[in-house]
Structure 1
Amino acid sequence: MTKKEIEERKFRPAKQEVKDAAKNLHTPQTTSAAYTLAFQDRDFLLRDDLRPVRFQLELLKPELLMNEAKIESTFVFYGSARIPEPEKAQARIEAAASEEERRIAERLAAKSKYYDEARRLANIAARYPAGEDGKQNFVVCSGGGPSIMEAANRGAADMDAPSIGMNIVLPHEQAPNIYVTPELSFQFHYFALRKMHFLLRARALAVFPGGFGTFDEFFELLTLVQTGKMKPIPILLFGKEFWSKVVDFEALADEGVIAHRDLELFTWVETAEDAWSTVCRFYKDDNLMGCD
């Protein structure tokens, strides 16, 4: 027996089985849902009893595809889906139909600078060289949506570099932003699995002003690091004026519900250069472009 014969596959592949199953004669038995191959039976897979299987599939599919793309680590971007890019900020203000809408539009426009900062930071991260084995590090990863997420993917696209988008199914119609690499554009049903994939490969994470979703992702990350479930990584918090207004971090420490040292879990930054310098200091890596 040759080595080839020892290593060759002995069982017929599932793809072939699917083709053969399609040739079945149409009888009351073969047309029954019970006869459908389990992995082709959509109604069966969507049963409540199959939730653990769907969890496993949603964990496994992105993992396999990112492994195949040789993505070793990521630079994750969290932030609002509502902050406009600077070029569109004024148009939104002018389109306001009431004083309240105008006030909100003006406040969002004031934060539009963070669109540019996210894009520039992604520019920098995207320049990190691939290893000799082709493995890629600090690959830009976002939630795949508009605003800050779009800026991150766009920044990588500026460098002709791949970037990841992890979208989520929502009741209202949406689509991934156009800058996500199509082969790395993922859609999730479960928020929990999406957040897990954000962090499994994360080696740096930038948090920009945002709402409930950003709070959820940011505070879960802080909890994981605080409790030792995850090793520390650079957590770069953009927009001290915004965050200090909506969250009194010092008060949490003063009240004793967190320790004062927990405030060191993240670093305040305002520019892409500040953020990248923090990553440089954390890893002390000469390969980090722009590190002096």
Structure 2
Amino acid sequence: MTDHRSIPPKPPHPTQREKPLPWEHPKPRDEDADAAKRIATIMEHPAYREPDHDVDFLHRDATRGVRLQLDYLKAEQGLVEHQVHQSIVVFGSTRLREPETAKRELAKASHAVAQAPEDASLARQLRLAERRMELAQYYDVGRELGRLVGMAGGGPKNSSLIVMTGGGPGGMEAANRGAYEVGAQTAGLNITLAHEQYPNPYVTPGLCFRFHYFALRKLHFMKRAAAIVALPGGFGTLDELFGALTLMQTRKVPPMPVVLIGEAYWRNVFDVDYLIEVGSIDPEDAELFWYAESAAEAWAGIKAWHQSNGSWLFESDDTPWTQGEAR
């Protein structure tokens, strides 16, 4: 017999045993003929599933807190793994057309009206096509801004500073596309909707995240934002823009550059002077944003704002910008 008090035993196999444990086999049939059937029923019941494998359990009202944590954590881990420190967040309409697409739609609408000049519905479609043609220039602005941001910092492969959008078509696509075209990494934050949504094809694989909760998506837009740029847009763009401005107005987050592309469009969408006149906002609140017409103008303004503020963008070998770490 080996003296275990003086000689260390041979290390056991990390996963295998020489003799199985009693629970490694079901109850024998010769002890209970119905045991196997009852065991199968027990093991097939949802209660026996491990919680992280039980989708029905994870979607209960009681586990909403867990889902909120996962909605936050998965994107957070992905951004950390890609070493994303800052983002230039670009909002914009999903309906914003590429200029060539808008031109084709306008030609088609014009032809239809010419064939049926009395049709009021076709006349309306023509007016809409004309408007979309006017706004299509902002697709190119978003695309150029994506290129400028993509080329900033330590080079196109450096993900310290990236373009981040909602990951959809239109204005979001334009910004992601510009970054993609210069070889830069670029992020998209999609949202699960009632109808199928596809990410635009220019988001970097591994940096396109799909959220269930709008709130967690908004959190990630703001968490690393070094600036917000809003191309012409509708409800979704307004929601994100005014949500961000409210956070800055109340100093829930430190102010950052907010640029509205296309002054004529935005002044038609909301009258900031009227809001001041009736006392709904203070004059200083109107200083939280400014207008620009081109990507170069917007990008230069963002950099000048940070220089004036004494904060940093991740460009070249600059000291890391830390203003957003507490968000």
> TM-score range with shorter-chain normalisation?
0.7 to 0.9
Task: Give the structure with higher Rg (CA).
Answer: 2
2:286 corresponds to which residue?
Answer: 263
1:242 is displaced (CA, Å) by 0.7
Equivalent in 59, 64, 74 of residue 61 of structure 1 = 74
1:103 corresponds to which residue?
Answer: 127
Distance in 2, Cα, partners of 1:89 & 1:236:
25
Equivalent in 85, 89, 101 of residue 88 of structure 1 = 101
Partner of 2:42: helix, strand, or coil? coil
1:286 is displaced (CA, Å) by 9.2
| CA separation of 1:185 and 1:109: change in aligned 2, threshold 3 A | same
1:287 is displaced (CA, Å) by 7.2
| CA separation of 1:140 and 1:51: change in aligned 2, threshold 3 A | same
Equivalent in 250, 255, 279 of residue 273 of structure 2 = 250
1:288 is displaced (CA, Å) by 5.0
How high is the sequence identity, in percent, across the aligned residues?
A: 42
Distance in 2, Cα, partners of 1:182 & 1:135:
15
Structure 1, unmatched stretches of 5+, are 1-11, 13-22
Query: What's the TM-score once normalised by structure 1's chain length?
Result: 0.86
1:227 corresponds to which residue?
Answer: 250
1:261 is displaced (CA, Å) by 1.1
Distance in 2, Cα, partners of 1:73 & 1:286:
8
2:259 corresponds to which residue?
Answer: 236
Alignment coverage as a number of residue pairs: 266
1:34 corresponds to which residue?
Answer: 47
1:121 corresponds to which residue?
Answer: 145
User: RMSD over aligned Cα, in angstroms?
Assistant: 2.1
Partner of 1:236: helix, strand, or coil? strand
> In the alignment, is the contact (CA less than 8 A) between 1:81 and 1:145 conserved in 2?
yes
1:75 aligns with 2:98: no
Alignment of 1:168-183 (within 5 A): 168-183=191-206
> In the alignment, is the contact (CA less than 8 A) between 1:280 and 1:288 conserved in 2?
no
The amino acid across from 1:126 in the alignment is: G
| CA separation of 1:270 and 1:62: change in aligned 2, threshold 3 A | same
1:167 aligns with 2:222: no
1:206 aligns with 2:229: yes
> In the alignment, is the contact (CA less than 8 A) between 1:164 and 1:185 conserved in 2?
yes
Distance in 2, Cα, partners of 1:92 & 1:196:
37
1:283 is displaced (CA, Å) by 1.9
Structure 2, unmatched stretches of 5+, are 1-14, 16-24, 27-35, 113-121, 317-327
> In the alignment, is the contact (CA less than 8 A) between 1:83 and 1:147 conserved in 2?
yes
> In the alignment, is the contact (CA less than 8 A) between 1:138 and 1:204 conserved in 2?
no
CA deviations 1:167-214 (Å, max 9, x no partner) are 111222220000011111111111111111111100011001100001
Alignment of 1:182-193 (within 5 A): 182-193=205-216
1:3 corresponds to which residue?
Answer: none
Partner of 1:177: helix, strand, or coil? coil
> In the alignment, is the contact (CA less than 8 A) between 1:205 and 1:235 conserved in 2?
yes
Distance in 2, Cα, partners of 1:252 & 1:141:
30
